Amino acid sequence: MIRRRPLIAAASALALPAHAQTGGWPARPLRMIVPYGAGNVTDVVARLLADDLTARLGQNVVVENMPGAGGTIGTAAIVRAAPDGYTFGLVAMAAVAVIPQMMRNPPYDPLRDLEPVGPVVVTGGSFLAVHPSVQARTAPELAETVRAGRPSPFFYYSAGSGTFPHLNMEALRLRLDFPAEHVPYRSSAAGLADLLAGRVHATLDTAVVTLPHVQSGALKALAFTSPQRSPSMPDVPTIGEQVPGLDLSSPWLAALGPRGIPPAVLARLQAAVAASATALVPRLPPNVDPDAGSPAEFGARMRADHARFTPLIQAIGLKLD
């Protein structure tokens, strides 16, 4: 859940005499690793965060893109960095909760090797969007229709195996017990083009991708994945309204460091990131919202999300190597 509340504790921590509490930290520029390429949403948010942290901490915060292997290359570099508070990263949920579980020999243990600095943002929900030829108005009706062979086979797209549109649709498919064929694409744009053309039938891609086409009538929205209905489409019920107890993911971006940062340094870095995340609200991209939870709350969420995806990954036999 997105929580917006005054970060009183964070602001108070920033007001403390920094040098007295942290031995002079920060005395040199900081490095923020982004385990993805330039230009995607994580990179955009990271650069906004770096600008604000630079002003807040009085030292340059330099963004270093390190893409590859679903974010695990850059995340492994965070794990290997010296735990002195000068290197941390902005990491997407999949590199913590999903991708390592798909690997035979993951390069890190996300729950053991990473220090929660704090949540930064969560992406908004997704629409269960279908081609207008699909004769269903809700997710349960979709399951009934597909089980009856209309259409058969039933195809849905995602931007790749292990992405959240893929995992969320598999969770929905398993809960409602209907057959579906996953068609992974290299990008959302490619999959969307085939959905609009009727070559695939559905997606659970992000609302950023599907909303304009739902609003134009080119796609039909059956459900929304967030706990609350979309302000843009308030007549579309949530998944929770239609399938009680099914909790589909809204991915997060979080600041993480190597385990072992000195407590006083970590506390100041956590407070700075929390304050910066709040300050970014007017500048965030569409469908991205701040998360003002504490580092402790975020650490619990990391563990819960990791545990949540374990049975799903095992059930669908998802492997990278």
Of the three residues 242, 258, 275, the one that is the final residue of a domain is 242
Helix (H) or strand (E) holding 293: none
Of the three residues 242, 270, 297, the one that is the final residue of a domain is 242
- Does any domain span residue 168? yes
Give me the count of residues in the chain: 321
Bond from prior residue into 231 cis (ω within 30 degrees of 0) = no
Cα–Cα distance measured from residue 34 to residue 92, given in angstroms and rounded to the nearest whole number: 9
Number of structural domains in the chain: 2
Q: What is the pLDDT of residue 311?
A: 92
Angle between helices 263-279 and 8-15 (to 10 degrees): 120
The parts of the chain modelled with pLDDT lower than 50 are: 1-20
- Does any domain span residue 258? yes
Bridge pairing between strands 30-34 and 114-123: unpaired
Residue 269 has which token pair?
Answer: 């870095």
Q: What is the CATH number of the domain that holds 114?
A: 3.40.190.150
Collapse the DSSP code of 13 into the 3-class scheme (helix H, G, I; strand E, B; otherwise coil) and give the result.
helix
Distance of CA 261 to the CA centre of its chain: 25
Range of the domain at 16: 8-122+250-315
Amino acid (one-letter) located at 101: Q
Same domain, yes or no, for 149 and 227? yes
Same domain, yes or no, for 160 and 234? yes
How many angstroms separate the Cα of 95 from the Cα of each of 42, 148, 160, 172, 204? 12, 37, 14, 22, 20
- Does any domain span residue 139? yes
Q: What is the pLDDT of residue 320?
A: 76
Q: What is the pLDDT of residue 321?
A: 60
Collapse the DSSP code of 88 into the 3-class scheme (helix H, G, I; strand E, B; otherwise coil) and give the result.
strand
Same domain, yes or no, for 295 and 226? no
In tens, the pLDDT along 211-239 reads 999 999 999 999 999 888 988 899 999 99
- Does any domain span residue 321? no
Same domain, yes or no, for 235 and 153? yes
Q: What is the pLDDT of residue 289?
A: 79
Q: What is the CATH number of the domain that holds 133?
A: 3.40.190.10
Of the three residues 242, 269, 284, the one that is the final residue of a domain is 242
